[in-house]
């Protein structure tokens, strides 16, 4: 069974799977389609699974895709620890420009559901991290957008020293939030 916890932006949901463990190891149910749809209140069809491995300090994001290629994501950490961030970019939303910040790691096994209309990113807090996610729309490189991770309007505390952050060349050139 999975516990579903709405976050400060209620469309973002933290999933806390029940952990069954003993001397042999552990078992968790990471996804149940029927329970999931009841909680979010609409049909969802995850069509692609992705996985990345990164070293400490790697920051990926804040990424999103423009409509009609926008994606909902269900993210989790298989190994290691990350700080996961979702920023509301839905114009007209009462939480526009606000964000949710959650630590996901291989001990708590928590997952985060991020619906369409949010920019997403994470930074690796452990020596390495393996990050996995399901999406409900296919990746479209020509429809990808992003916000610079350190945008002063967003006031995100990444819980890591700026000098330790490693970002891609592409992410160094992302736009400011106010320019979306």
The answer to whether residue 99 is catalytic is no
The answer to whether residue 19 is catalytic is no
Rounded distance, CA 180 to CA 124, Å? Answer: 26
* CA neighbor of 89 nearest in space, from 41, 14, 40, 154: 154
Catalytic residue among 99, 110, 120, 133: 133
SS3 124: strand
Catalytic residue among 63, 96, 99, 138: 63
If one counts every other C-beta atom within 10 angstroms of the C-beta of residue 70, the result is 19
Please say whether the beta carbons of 80 and 105 come within 8 A.
Answer: yes
Rounded distance, CA 107 to CA 89, Å? Answer: 30
Cα torsion at 49, 75, 37, 41 (round to 10°)?
-130
Give the residue numbers annotated as catalytic, written as ranges. 63, 133
């Amino acid at each position: 069974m999975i516990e579903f916890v709405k976050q400060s932006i209620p469309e973002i949901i933290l999933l806390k799977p029940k952990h069954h463990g003993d001397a042999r190891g552990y078992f968790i149910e990471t996804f149940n389609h029927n329970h999931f749809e009841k909680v979010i209140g609409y049909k969802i069809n995850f069509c692609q699974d992705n996985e990345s491995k990164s070293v400490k300090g790697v920051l990926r994001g804040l990424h999103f895709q423009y409509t009609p290629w926008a994606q909902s994501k269900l993210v989790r950490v298989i190994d290691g620890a990350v700080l996961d961030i979702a920023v509301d970019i839905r114009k007209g939303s009462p939480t526009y420009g606000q964000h949710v910040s959650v630590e996901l790691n291989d001990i708590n096994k928590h997952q985060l559901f991020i619906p369409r209309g949010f920019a997403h990113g994470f930074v690796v807090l452990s020596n390495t991290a393996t990050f996995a996610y399901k999406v409900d729309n296919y990746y479209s490189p020509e429809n990808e957008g992003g916000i610079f991770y350190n945008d002063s309007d967003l006031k995100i505390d990444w819980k890591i020293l700026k000098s330790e952050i490693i970002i891609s060349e592409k992410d160094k050139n992302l736009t400011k939030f106010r320019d979306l």
